[in-house]
C-alpha cells in the first residue's frame, strides 16, 4: 500500500512538472507568434507609405522604411534593451541593467533561457514601429542618412527610455503617479507622433505643398488602394503588438505590463470594439477611405491605454471620439504650415494622447499593486506631459542639428525630379504608370 501511494505521488509530481513545462512552452510560443504578427505591421507600413508617395518617390519611400527596421534591430540589441532595464527609477542605473548588456549571458544563445530573446524581440519590434510612424510623415524630401540617424535615436533610445519610465513594472511614473498605459498608447504612439512633429518643423514642407498665402495644396499619393491595404495590414499586426503587452504567469494567470491581473478576453473585446469605433467615427466625419482606415488605427490606439479595464461598448465610444477628432487635428497641423504626408501626428500623436488622458478621465481609482498609487487623471496627465516633452524635444533638437550639418533634407532639384530617379537604381513602374511630371 505504501509503495502504491509513493508511486501515485511520484506520478502526480511528474504530471505537475509536465503541466508547468507545458505552460512555459505555450507562453514562449505565444510571444514567438506575437513577434511574427508584429512584422506584419511593417509590411503594412511599407505598403501604406509607398502608396502615399507619388510615383516618382515610391521606391525611395519603401527603402527608407525597410532600412529603419534593419538598423533598429541591431542597435536595440546593443543598447536599447539595456536602456529599458537601466532607467525605471529615472536616470539612475538599476542593477538589472547588467542583464541587458550585449555581452551578458542572457543576451546570447543560452539554451536554458527561451524567454529573454522572445521578450527582447517583441520590444525590438515595438521600437521599429516607432520609427515607421515617423517614417511616413517625412516621405519625399528627407535624406536617407538623416532619416536613419533619427530612426535609430527614436527607436533605440527615446521611446524605450519613456517605456522604462512608464511601461515598466517599477517605472517611476507608475510607482509615483499610478500611470496606466497597458497597450503603449503613450510610450509608443504619443512619443513617436511628438517626435515626428519636432522633425517636421525643421524638415519643412514638400515643394508645392503650400502657396504664398499659406493655403495648402493636396499632394496625393499614387496608389490609394495600396495605402488602404497597408493600413489594414497594420491592424492585423496590432494583434501581435497588443498580445505582446500581456504577460503570462505559470498557473494560467495573465497580467498586464504592470503586473495587474487581466485576461485575453479584455484585450480581444476592446481591441476589436475600439477598431470598429474608430472606423465608424472617421467615416462619419470624412467619408474618406484613407481616413476611415486611419480612423480604425486611431480607435485601437485610443482604447489601448485601458484595454484591460474598459467595458467593450465604452472602448467603442473612446475609439469613435478619437477617430472623429483625428482629421480635425490633422487640419490644424496643416494650417500651422506643417506638411505631415500621412497625418502621423494626428493618428499616432493625438490618438496616443487621447488614449492616455481617457484612462485618467474614465478609469480613475483603478487600484494598482504593491501599494503603488491608483490610476488618476493627475498621473495620466503627468505621464502624457513627460512623453510629449520627451518625444517632441528630442525630435526637434536632433533634426535641428542634422539640418545645421546639411544632413536633413535632399536638394530641391532631387526632390523635384523625384527620389527614385536620383537615389534608386531601379524603376518602380518601367511600363504603364508613369511618374508625375516635375512641378
Q: What's the pTM?
A: 0.92
Three cell numbers written together for 237: 499586426
Q: Tens digit of pLDDT for each residue in 385-395?
A: 999 999 999 99
Domains of the chain: 24-423 (1.10.3430.10)
256, 245 contact by CB (below 8 A): yes
Q: Tens digit of pLDDT for each residue in 261-281?
A: 999 899 999 999 999 999 999
Sheet with strand 253-255: strands edge to edge: 247-249, 253-255, 261-262
Q: Tens digit of pLDDT for each residue in 287-304?
A: 999 999 999 999 999 999
Q: For 79-83, which contacts have Cβ atoms below 8 Å and span 24 or more sequence positions?
A: 79/156, 79/157, 80/123, 80/124, 80/127, 80/155, 80/156, 80/157, 80/160, 81/107, 81/120, 81/123, 81/124, 81/160, 83/156, 83/157, 83/160, 83/161, 83/164
Note the pLDDT of residue 12. Answer: 45
Note the pLDDT of residue 91. Answer: 87
Q: Tens digit of pLDDT for each residue in 131-189?
A: 999 999 999 999 999 999 999 999 999 999 999 999 999 999 999 999 999 999 999 99
Split at pLDDT 50, 70, 90, the class of 1 is low
CA trace torsion 416, 409, 157, 129 (10° rounding):
-10
Compute the mean pLDDT over every residue in the chain, rounded to the nearest whole number.
91
Q: Tens digit of pLDDT for each residue in 356-399?
A: 999 999 999 999 988 899 999 999 999 999 999 999 999 999 99
Would you say residue 3 has pLDDT above 70?
A: no
369, 259 contact by CB (below 8 A): yes
Alpha-carbon distance of 401 to 405, in angstroms, equals 7
Q: Tens digit of pLDDT for each residue in 186-203?
A: 999 999 999 999 999 999
Three cell numbers written together for 82: 539595456
Alpha-carbon distance of 346 to 340, in angstroms, equals 9
Note the pLDDT of residue 43. Answer: 94
Q: Which residues contact 81 (CB under 8 A, 6 or more apart)?
A: 100, 107, 120, 123, 124, 160
Note the pLDDT of residue 17. Answer: 44
* Cβ neighbours around 188 below 10 Å, total: 28
* Dihedral pair phi/psi, residue 210, rounded to 5°: -120, 145
166, 386 contact by CB (below 8 A): yes
Amino acid at each position: 500500500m505504501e509503495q502504491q501511494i509513493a508511486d501515485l505521488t511520484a506520478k502526480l509530481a511528474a504530471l505537475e512538472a509536465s503541466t508547468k513545462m507545458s505552460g512555459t512552452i505555450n507562453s514562449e510560443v505565444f510571444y514567438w507568434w506575437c513577434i511574427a504578427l508584429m512584422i506584419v505591421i511593417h509590411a503594412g507600413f511599407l505598403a501604406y507609405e509607398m502608396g502615399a508617395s507619388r510615383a516618382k518617390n515610391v521606391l525611395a519611400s519603401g527603402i527608407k522604411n525597410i532600412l529603419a527596421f534593419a538598423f533598429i534591430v541591431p542597435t536595440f540589441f546593443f543598447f536599447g534593451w539595456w536602456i529599458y532595464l537601466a532607467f525605471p527609477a529615472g536616470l539612475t542605473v538599476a542593477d538589472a541593467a547588467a542583464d541587458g548588456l550585449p555581452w551578458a549571458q542572457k543576451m546570447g544563445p543560452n539554451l536554458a533561457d527561451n524567454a529573454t530573446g522572445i521578450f527582447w524581440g517583441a520590444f525590438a519590434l515595438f521600437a521599429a514601429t516607432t520609427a515607421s510612424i515617423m517614417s511616413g510623415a517625412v516621405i519625399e524630401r528627407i535624406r536617407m542618412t538623416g532619416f536613419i540617424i533619427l530612426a535609430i535615436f527614436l527607436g533605440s533610445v527615446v521611446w524605450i527610455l519613456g517605456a522604462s519610465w512608464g511601461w515598466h513594472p517599477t517605472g517611476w511614473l507608475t510607482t509615483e503617479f499610478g500611470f496606466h498605459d497597458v497597450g503603449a498608447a503613450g510610450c509608443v504612439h504619443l512619443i513617436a507622433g511628438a517626435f515626428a512633429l519636432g522633425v517636421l518643423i525643421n524638415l519643412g514642407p514638400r515643394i508645392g505643398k503650400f502657396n504664398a498665402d499659406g493655403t495648402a495644396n493636396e499632394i496625393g499619393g499614387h496608389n490609394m488602394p495600396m495605402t488602404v491595404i497597408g493600413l489594414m495590414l497594420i491592424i492585423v499586426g496590432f494583434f501581435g503588438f497588443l498580445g505582446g503587452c500581456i504577460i503570462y504567469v505559470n498557473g494560467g494567470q495573465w497580467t498586464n505590463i504592470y503586473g495587474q491581473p487581466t485576461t485575453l478576453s479584455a484585450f480581444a473585446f476592446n481591441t476589436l470594439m475600439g477598431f470598429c469605433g474608430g472606423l465608424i467615427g472617421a467615416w462619419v466625419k470624412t467619408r474618406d477611405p484613407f481616413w476611415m482606415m486611419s480612423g480604425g488605427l486611431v480607435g485601437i490606439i485610443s482604447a489601448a491605454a485601458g484595454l484591460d479595464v474598459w467595458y467593450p461598448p465604452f472602448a467603442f465610444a473612446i475609439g469613435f471620439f478619437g477617430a472623429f477628432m483625428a482629421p480635425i487635428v490633422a487640419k490644424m497641423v496643416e494650417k500651422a504650415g506643417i506638411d505631415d504626408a500621412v497625418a502621423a501626428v494626428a493618428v499616432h500623436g493625438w490618438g496616443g494622447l487621447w488614449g492616455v488622458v481617457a484612462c485618467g478621465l474614465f478609469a480613475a481609482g483603478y487600484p494598482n499593486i504593491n501599494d503603488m498609487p491608483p490610476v488618476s487623471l493627475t498621473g495620466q496627465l503627468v505621464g502624457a506631459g513627460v512623453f510629449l516633452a520627451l518625444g517632441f524635444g528630442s525630435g526637434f533638437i536632433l533634426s535641428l542639428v542634422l539640418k545645421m550639418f546639411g544632413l536633413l533634407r535632399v536638394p530641391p532639384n532631387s526632390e523635384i525630379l523625384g527620389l527614385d530617379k536620383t537615389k534608386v537604381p531601379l524603376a518602380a513602374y518601367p511600363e504603364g504608370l508613369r511618374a508625375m511630371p516635375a512641378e
